[in-house]
Amino acid sequence: MRAYLGLGSNLGDRWQYLMDAVLAIDERVDVSPVYETDPVGGPADQGAFLNVVVAVETEKTPRQLLELCQLLEASAQRVRVEHWGPRTLDADVLLVGDLVVSEPDLVVPHPLWRERAFVVEPLRDVALVDLAATLPTLETGGIRRVGSLWGDWDTSVTPSDAAAWFAHWERTWAIAGGWAIELFVGHPVRVHADLDVAIARADASALRAFLEPEWELFSAHRGRLSVWDGELRPDGGHQLWCRRRGGALWEFEVVFEDIRNGVLHYRRDPAITVPMTDAIAFTDDGVPYLAPELQLLYKSAHPRARDEIDFAAAAPRLPVAERERLNALWTGTSDP
């Protein structure tokens, strides 16, 4: 079940309090960018808030999620002095699937969530498609997007840059993610937050030797970033964030694919296999990209608004059988 938690801080090291709280949420699957917000209610002289929304995939009840939020606040040493006053951390249960709870100390959905831009705007970044379609449009004059907890991405990077970086890489690679969809349809589809490059898991050590020392490589797993030691996690970690050594912006993300004997095995179900001759396509100028049906299969598990845009752009161009299969996945009437 998908649930959403709202986190805010306007006292002390706001960024660190938010980061510590996010890292303590084991079931998180997505974290919004950070928004800075003028205080709503409470003392007039308190500082601005930093806010994020965390999406979790969980079997916890709303009551258990409330207890988690209370633990997060206690870990941040929150002290309640006055109503809506400054706090190191404010953690709220916003939504828990389609459940409705009305108890003295717990109301779900959160009673004010639709009225608060500092909830709605970060929620818009991580909401699944059905929820995103229902979000209200609010006045956003008092809210400012100020970055990411783990640093910003260089949004000027394109597949052409990756083609230059990997020009001398003699092993398999391909553009992945939303950019792969755009290369397939042949025209702009949407704004891209980052650039994904797919590499075979077996080539991990070779990739490290190829990119270092010019690039800094960080393992991204369950919301944690750590300097990559060249090893892949046995528990499913498959992403690297990459930036120029000493650079301020992340430039591309590496996703590792299970490729063996000329066959790609789907990460979420290794029984699903695709011959490499079908798994990778090429643009007219030779840039490789993951086949759209494979990329949409990855996106179908928990589609967000941007994934729905990608599906709408690419699906009509697919063969009928493949389009029908993906449409069933997208609407929840079939499993991979």
Residues designated catalytic: 78, 87, 90, 92
Question: DSSP labels for 244-274?
Answer: ETT-SSB-EEEEEEEEETTEEEPTT-TT-EE
Burial class (CB in 10 A: 0-12, 13-18, 19+), 80: exposed
What is the bridge-based pairing of β-strands 215-221 and 224-227?
A: antiparallel
CA atoms within 13 A on the CB side of 51: 27
Q: Which residues contact 31 (CB under 8 A, 6 or more apart)?
A: 22, 52, 53, 54, 55, 126, 149, 223
Closest by CA to 256, choosing from 233, 274, 285, 280, is 233
Burial class (CB in 10 A: 0-12, 13-18, 19+), 24: middle
CA angle (26, 269, 329) in 5-degree steps: 90
Closest by CA to 214, choosing from 244, 250, 253, 246, is 244
